[in-house]
Structure 1
Amino acid sequence: MSDTLDPHRSKRSSVAVVRPFASAAERTCGENLARLVKKAKQANVLRAEDWNSPRWDLQRKSRASSAGDGGLCFTIDRSTKGNLAAPFPPRYMDFVKALVCRYEAKEVGGYAASNLQQVIRAASFLFLQLSPDRGDADVTLVTAGHLERAAVQASESMNAGYRNIRSKLIFIANLLVRDGIVPLALSWKCPPVSYKDRRAVVPDEDRLRSDHMPSPEVLDALADLSLRTDLDDRDLLLVRIVDLLVCAGFRINEALTLPNDCLVEEAALDDDGIQLLDRTGTPLVRMALRYWPEKQGHLEVRLKPIPTVMQPIVRRALADIRRITDPHRAVASYQRRHAGRTLLGEPWDSLPADAMLSTYELGLVLQLGRGKTELSRQRVQSLANQYLENHARTLSKTRGFRSFEVSKLNLEAHLCGRSIAGNILRAGEGVQDIAESLCVVSHRFVHRHHKAGVPGTVRLVTDAMIDVFLGGLKSKTQKSIFDRLEYFGPNRETLSVDTHDFRHWLNTLAEEGGLSEMEVARWFGRADIGHNPAYQHMLQSERVRRMRKYMEDGKAEGPIADAAARINDPIRRADFIASTTASAHVTDFGICVHPWNVYPCAKHGACAGCGDLRVIKGDEQSQQRTSQRLVAVEEQLAIAREAMTAEEWGADRWVAAHERERDSLKRIMAVHDGQLDSGTIVHMPSSSSTLKPGPGAGGSR
């Protein structure tokens, strides 16, 4: 537009003046964001000492876990230990901190630090979409596109960890809309979790399996350790805790917070009330362990059934653990009955409470220097003086005749301060005093540089102790049990295992043994059977073997099963079954037998209507995902029909495609709702892929 035709342009200047403009809706969003941050600062639910700090130190909340010791790091990228990555810009950091505080307030008792760090991680994915150059970002400008790209980036980089990030992104999107921080409602649905990286449907399934499963060498080494009779009490205690993990599939904090009276046994009876016997004539018993589930905040203990073959191992583990921990439990019980007092062992317990101890006697009481060569009096006294310097705030000293002295009462109060007392469970859960717990030890009891722990102190065994025991420290200052006792891999490589790997291993064994998804979820203490796939790592070869056996046993339906049944020669029938079932991949709806190693799949992504699909009757995950997909397809079909009614070009093809998928999904649901026996494998028919133009809609254009 020329100057002469623009009545709003100034006659004195040929340059237009552009003023920034913010709509009323945008101004309101900014005010709502400021209000969110202000409320979070005032509430300060995480008790941050410095709101503006890029790192918040937290109190530990996870029972016997050492998680949270590193605090929360408000950084764009992940922080490494001792090295803080680049923090968020100030304005966006305030939003993230308010976000974390709001998430913390959702749950009574709050969340673990690792869960809150995932909120920060999800916010960092969103930040990188808002500000690719890592400058300051305006949260009020978030759109569905930003969230969608953040979710895609998270799924590509996080693999199996995307499930947790996905839930946090959904929380962020809901908060932005609910608190009016974005001007418009976000019509966005987070992409679903892909199961391909967790159920071995990719070519490198062996690597995925080995990443989450104990190696055969580790299992052999642990079996040998479990039978050894030359282990000291420190190693034996941790070996027996690992035995419980292997037998019961506990989460590590569930095992470490077992009550002392956890064992429950009763006679195993048949339907007529008669005692059952094993093959040797020994009466069978039903065994379970009382435990506190780590998740969902249970107020009562649950029972974990123990398989019959594992019962002797559990009895032996409990007997050894109790023998080792009984003295420490006695100390905890004494501290509970006598506030500020503890047991030091004889001859110190016989001394009066106001007795004065020299520094040399202090060293003897605390067993300083134990585990090393016999130390001289001067060396013990020097270690005691150093101890007094390190703990001067809680342990006062007075000048004695020749050296400093400490009162016995003051020492006991100091040791009580270093102990855990009272309820070991988190707020909102049940109550269990440490004196009633199984895995009770003294401070530094399992430390390899000390022959004994600190007398008069009590604490729980922590997950960090088990981690060091099984994997050592990266600094090599403490070796794992495998390195210390020279257990190595085939090429003398170092062995290590994570405590959660045992749950993956047992879950996979349960799947291979034929347990249903519901049975597996109940035994492992999961609230949702959808969590099972993350722990299932059955090899494709094992899945193929099971598929073939089902067909050979007549537990299959469909044209291939019918053709196999008509072959009378067992050898030819087995060869025919093998030729038609060369591979088996898990999909959302069932098992795919397409040979991917031979040629690509022409129907990739259209599994519901593919002739290579085999549906397992009674598979809860298949039924759930099929039902969810059917609802989505019905919605898409309704939209496509409206478009076809409006004679939009190509809408008839969408209607035809959605109708085919809907019919295929209904056939799958009919299998699950039918009268076939649970576990029957059904060969689904292939739906036609020919597109037939419908009336109107301009399909011939």
Structure 2
Amino acid sequence: MSNVVSLLPRTGEDVQSNLDNLVTFYKKNSPFKSKDSFDWAGLYWDVKGICKTQARKAGYEQYIYFNRDNQKAVNVKTSRKEMRPFHHAELSNVLKCHITAIQIESQKDVGTLQIWVNAYRYLDNVLSQTNKKIAELSTNDFRLAELDAEKRLAASTFYRIGSKLEGICKFINRMKLAKYKIIFRKTAKRGKTHTNSDTKIDSASIDERAKKLPSKYSLICVATLSNTDLKGDDALFQAIVEIMFATGFRFDEVISLDVDCLYEREIEERNVLTGKLEIFNVHEIRYKAKKGGGYSSKTVVDCLVPILVKGLQTAIDLLSPVRNCIEQLEEKEYDFFPELDFQHEIPASEACRLLAWSSNSNFQTFLRKRNITINARVVEGAQGKPIKVATISPIDVKGVTAALASQSIKELWSVVKNTTVADKLHRMIFVTQHQRHHALKSTEAWKFTLITHTQISDYISGRPELGVKSIFERRNLVYEDTPIRLTSHQFRHFLSTMLELCDTVSEIEVARYFGRKYIGDNEAYDHTNKAKVVMDHAHNIIASSGISSEQAKEASILFTLVDREEAIDTIDDLTTTLTTAIGLCKHDYNDSPCGKHYACLRGCAEYYRVKGREKEIHEVKRIFEQQKLHVEAAKDSVEEKYHNANNWLASHEELLNGCKIALDIEGNDSIAVGERVQVFPEGKTKCEAI
């Protein structure tokens, strides 16, 4: 008997046994069962602390939901009370096994796992109509599921669901859950890679660019606020804005910074001109890159250091009470109610008064929710009559809230410790207390969380549909009667674009500076004006090409709205272009000599003309008039029945017709004067050597 531990469920020829073994194996080895509330058959699993999470969502609940498709519109959610299990119980088990296997392989975030669930729902819809078992699944079932998804989803989401259906098919095949191998390939194709629209000058492209970059006026407003004496939460959120502006950090990277994130570093470099070692100091900021970059640091340019220092110091000062509270709780108990300095029981109404609570009933509700004992004591009333009074023990209140705070610290740190370089929670700058920054609700001092994206978004963008005003509206900072609005990510686009304008910084350095995993990600953040960049270098490009002065003038006209690569390609065309009396021949004579330069007007695809060029018009007209005479002479020869006269006539008529087409360009209003035109776009290359 083997005593080898199985790392994966064993598979055999019996597909039903394979499924049973699969469920048993993953029930036993599921990473989600570490939660006390875990139930394999449940409609949802609590995965907080098990799945990866973003720092901004550290205080949120995290669940994976295994309910069936609600047949409602996209993003319309169902309350837990209304949730129903999958139609197909076997498929639900396969789903849970698959989710568990994915999580065991590598830690995933909740959103990634939920997309797999969504894909299984489409397959569940199909099986609910056929009542098939998992063992009877076929390619057609996956096709029907994909077709259902295509009808209901946007193209980008449909592609993702198609990919997941393909993954489900592979999982079922690998685990031998179906009688026959299922061959399914998604029909959706990934769209072409997004390219920047900034080289285009149409209104839609300009509007798209405006969404991603902060406007000049919004930057002026941000600077105005930075020089305003803001107080309270406005000062805190403005500090976050200043940090994002100075660093280009993502929001999650900002709120995971530690109190010692900014430091000076001494650098030695050898001067290539003098050969001497030069020593200078730079400011660096350390952080944890969000997208797989891990621990990282970046240099902050000198002009932005004062802005960054101001933002960091403001945030550190404003949230220091929270960090001090956490530090004391980590070392010993903390007294959240110093006003209740009593060793004996006191009336709840008296405690309510001392704490300035909204009402006695609300205070007692608060106590009951936290399982704090409320005693009913009989005391002598004002008229000497005994009355019942609700009393509490201040020691119990303090002990329970301190315990809740310690538990909150433990839970929050377990979620965020992998997203920050801080070694303890109280070293994180932006740790705060629940509802501390709420405009109406009171702070729950013993529950800790991080600053949320909703809070910073409300500060710089507001929510007009809910009546939430941004700081710009509250300060009456508007442009053309329209309130300024920003997003937290626009500063990242702005700094990345500024860096792209620097010729001495390579693409890989740009990617590293912004904590990106791939160089290709730079493109989405590059909003430089390609036309301007090319024209700034046009003189150097043209000077190095060896083209004539006339061609240089043409290049200057043609290259105003193309990028550098297109400009160089077109100049290469010019250097291999022959200027003739009737126009331009684009044939590359380095490849082969032209044996028929006189045949350009006979429908050659490499023949070009420039509208309005008098020399060309004069020469083509000369040939045209000459050919009319040749055609008349050829017709006479045909009538006289000379040998091969028909071929002679056809040749002259072809040339005459070519001249007519070349001259017709002058009367075409859709072609601008000075524009170079391919005369015979449907023609054939007639530059073969003879």
Q: Classify the TM-score, shorter chain.
A: 0.5 to 0.7
2:61 is the alignment partner of 1:69: yes
2:473 is the alignment partner of 1:469: no
Checking the alignment, whether the CA contact within 8 Å between 1:584 and 1:594 is kept in structure 2 is no
* Structure 1 residues 250-289: Cα deviation after superposition (integer angstroms, max 9, x where no partner): 232221121111111135665344455xxxxxxxx41111
Question: How far apart are residue 123 of structure 1 and its match?
Answer: 4.5
2:97 is the alignment partner of 1:98: yes
2:435 is the alignment partner of 1:444: yes
Checking the alignment, whether the CA contact within 8 Å between 2:169 and 2:184 is kept in structure 1 is no
2:382 is the alignment partner of 1:385: no
Checking the alignment, whether the CA contact within 8 Å between 1:56 and 1:73 is kept in structure 2 is yes
* Structure 1 residues 635-670: Cα deviation after superposition (integer angstroms, max 9, x where no partner): xxxxxxxxxxxxxxxxxxxxxxxxxxxxxxxxxxxx
Question: How far apart are residue 334 of structure 1 and its match?
Answer: 0.6
After the TM superposition, which residues 285-434 of structure 1 pair with which residues of structure 2 at under 5 Å, given as runs? 285-296=281-292, 298=294, 301-338=295-332, 341-344=333-336, 351=341, 354=343, 356=345, 358-360=347-349, 362-363=351-352, 368-369=357-358, 379=359, 381-389=360-368, 391-393=369-371, 395-399=372-376, 402-418=389-405, 420-422=408-410, 423=413, 426=416, 432-434=423-425
Number of aligned residue pairs: give it.
527
Q: Counterparts of 2:469 and 2:363 in 1: how far apart (Å)?
A: 27
Question: How far apart are residue 313 of structure 1 and its match?
Answer: 0.7
Counterpart for residue 556 of structure 2: 577
Checking the alignment, whether the CA contact within 8 Å between 1:397 and 1:404 is kept in structure 2 is yes
Counterpart for residue 499 of structure 2: 510
DSSP-derived class of the 1:265 partner: strand
Q: Give the 3 Å change call, closer, same or farther, for CA 361–441 of structure 1 in structure 2.
A: farther
DSSP-derived class of the 2:283 partner: strand
Question: How far apart are residue 96 of structure 1 and its match?
Answer: 3.2
Question: How far apart are residue 551 of structure 1 and its match?
Answer: 3.2
DSSP-derived class of the 1:261 partner: coil
DSSP-derived class of the 1:223 partner: helix
Q: Give the 3 Å change call, closer, same or farther, for CA 73–317 of structure 1 in structure 2.
A: same
Q: Greater helix percent: which structure?
A: 2
Checking the alignment, whether the CA contact within 8 Å between 1:443 and 1:454 is kept in structure 2 is yes
Q: Give the 3 Å change call, closer, same or farther, for CA 316–30 of structure 1 in structure 2.
A: same
What amino acid does structure 1 have at the position aligned with 2:538? M
Q: Counterparts of 1:89 and 1:43 in 2: how far apart (Å)?
A: 26
Question: How far apart are residue 178 of structure 1 and its match?
Answer: 2.8
DSSP-derived class of the 1:447 partner: coil
Checking the alignment, whether the CA contact within 8 Å between 1:366 and 1:455 is kept in structure 2 is no
* Structure 1 residues 109-149: Cα deviation after superposition (integer angstroms, max 9, x where no partner): x3222222233345557778x67989989683247994996
Q: Give the 3 Å change call, closer, same or farther, for CA 594–363 of structure 1 in structure 2.
A: farther
After the TM superposition, which residues 119-130 of structure 1 pair with which residues of structure 2 at under 5 Å, given as runs? 119-123=116-120
Checking the alignment, whether the CA contact within 8 Å between 2:269 and 2:279 is kept in structure 1 is yes
Question: How far apart are residue 312 of structure 1 and its match?
Answer: 0.6
2:536 is the alignment partner of 1:544: no
Measured on the aligned residues, the alpha-carbon RMSD in Å equals 4.7
What amino acid does structure 2 have at the position aligned with 1:72? I
What amino acid does structure 1 have at the position aligned with 2:549? I
After the TM superposition, which residues 471-550 of structure 1 pair with which residues of structure 2 at under 5 Å, given as runs? 471-472=461-462, 476=466, 478-488=468-478, 490-492=480-482, 496-514=485-503, 515-533=505-523, 535-536=524-525, 538=527, 542-550=529-537
Show structure 1 runs of 5+ residues with no match.
1-24, 277-284, 370-378, 596-610, 612-687, 692-701
Q: Counterparts of 1:233 and 1:347 in 2: how far apart (Å)?
A: 24
Checking the alignment, whether the CA contact within 8 Å between 2:269 and 2:277 is kept in structure 1 is yes
Counterpart for residue 261 of structure 1: 260
DSSP-derived class of the 1:317 partner: helix
DSSP-derived class of the 2:105 partner: coil
Question: How far apart are residue 239 of structure 1 and its match?
Answer: 1.6
Counterpart for residue 574 of structure 2: none
Q: Counterparts of 2:479 and 2:468 in 1: how far apart (Å)?
A: 19
Q: Counterparts of 1:133 and 1:552 in 2: how far apart (Å)?
A: 69
Q: Give the 3 Å change call, closer, same or farther, for CA 234–366 of structure 1 in structure 2.
A: farther
2:209 is the alignment partner of 1:209: yes
Checking the alignment, whether the CA contact within 8 Å between 2:12 and 2:18 is kept in structure 1 is no
Question: How far apart are residue 306 of structure 1 and its match?
Answer: 1.6
Checking the alignment, whether the CA contact within 8 Å between 1:151 and 1:191 is kept in structure 2 is no
Checking the alignment, whether the CA contact within 8 Å between 1:472 and 1:480 is kept in structure 2 is yes
What amino acid does structure 1 have at the position aligned with 2:409? A
Q: Give the 3 Å change call, closer, same or farther, for CA 392–337 of structure 1 in structure 2.
A: closer
Q: Give the 3 Å change call, closer, same or farther, for CA 362–458 of structure 1 in structure 2.
A: farther
2:42 is the alignment partner of 1:45: no
DSSP-derived class of the 2:31 partner: coil
Q: Give the 3 Å change call, closer, same or farther, for CA 438–427 of structure 1 in structure 2.
A: closer
* Structure 1 residues 503-523: Cα deviation after superposition (integer angstroms, max 9, x where no partner): 344334433445432112211
2:161 is the alignment partner of 1:175: no
Q: Counterparts of 2:474 and 2:242 in 1: how far apart (Å)?
A: 19
Counterpart for residue 615 of structure 1: none
Q: Counterparts of 2:409 and 2:182 in 1: how far apart (Å)?
A: 50
Q: Counterparts of 2:151 and 2:543 in 1: how far apart (Å)?
A: 40
What amino acid does structure 2 have at the position aligned with 1:323? D
DSSP-derived class of the 2:319 partner: helix
Q: Counterparts of 1:86 and 1:575 in 2: how far apart (Å)?
A: 70
Checking the alignment, whether the CA contact within 8 Å between 1:331 and 1:457 is kept in structure 2 is no
DSSP-derived class of the 1:302 partner: strand
Q: Counterparts of 2:215 and 2:130 in 1: how far apart (Å)?
A: 42
Q: Counterparts of 1:248 and 1:689 in 2: how far apart (Å)?
A: 56
Q: Give the 3 Å change call, closer, same or farther, for CA 57–344 of structure 1 in structure 2.
A: closer
Question: How far apart are residue 428 of structure 1 and its match?
Answer: 6.4
Q: Counterparts of 1:383 and 1:145 in 2: how far apart (Å)?
A: 55
Q: Counterparts of 1:236 and 1:253 in 2: how far apart (Å)?
A: 19
Checking the alignment, whether the CA contact within 8 Å between 2:55 and 2:252 is kept in structure 1 is yes
* Structure 1 residues 181-215: Cα deviation after superposition (integer angstroms, max 9, x where no partner): 46347585997744444533897433443454445
Checking the alignment, whether the CA contact within 8 Å between 2:345 and 2:392 is kept in structure 1 is yes
DSSP-derived class of the 2:233 partner: helix
After the TM superposition, which residues 268-279 of structure 1 pair with which residues of structure 2 at under 5 Å, given as runs? 271=270, 272-274=276-278
Question: How far apart are residue 235 of structure 1 and its match?
Answer: 1.8
After the TM superposition, which residues 647-666 of structure 1 pair with which residues of structure 2 at under 5 Å, given as runs? none
Checking the alignment, whether the CA contact within 8 Å between 1:148 and 1:190 is kept in structure 2 is no
Checking the alignment, whether the CA contact within 8 Å between 1:583 and 1:594 is kept in structure 2 is no
Checking the alignment, whether the CA contact within 8 Å between 1:368 and 1:384 is kept in structure 2 is yes
Point out the more displaced range, 97-106 or 168-177: 168-177
Q: Give the 3 Å change call, closer, same or farther, for CA 297–361 of structure 1 in structure 2.
A: farther
Question: How far apart are residue 432 of structure 1 and its match?
Answer: 2.4
Q: Counterparts of 1:490 and 1:133 in 2: how far apart (Å)?
A: 58
Q: Give the 3 Å change call, closer, same or farther, for CA 188–81 of structure 1 in structure 2.
A: closer
Counterpart for residue 227 of structure 1: 227
Q: Counterparts of 1:223 and 1:316 in 2: how far apart (Å)?
A: 13
DSSP-derived class of the 2:56 partner: coil
Q: Give the 3 Å change call, closer, same or farther, for CA 488–55 of structure 1 in structure 2.
A: farther
2:549 to 567, 573, 576: 567
Q: Counterparts of 2:313 and 2:409 in 1: how far apart (Å)?
A: 24
Q: Give the 3 Å change call, closer, same or farther, for CA 80–52 of structure 1 in structure 2.
A: farther
Q: Counterparts of 2:451 and 2:390 in 1: how far apart (Å)?
A: 36
DSSP-derived class of the 2:310 partner: helix
Q: Give the 3 Å change call, closer, same or farther, for CA 305–591 of structure 1 in structure 2.
A: farther
Q: Give the 3 Å change call, closer, same or farther, for CA 295–358 of structure 1 in structure 2.
A: farther
Q: Counterparts of 1:223 and 1:289 in 2: how far apart (Å)?
A: 22
Percent sequence identity is 19
Checking the alignment, whether the CA contact within 8 Å between 1:521 and 1:529 is kept in structure 2 is yes
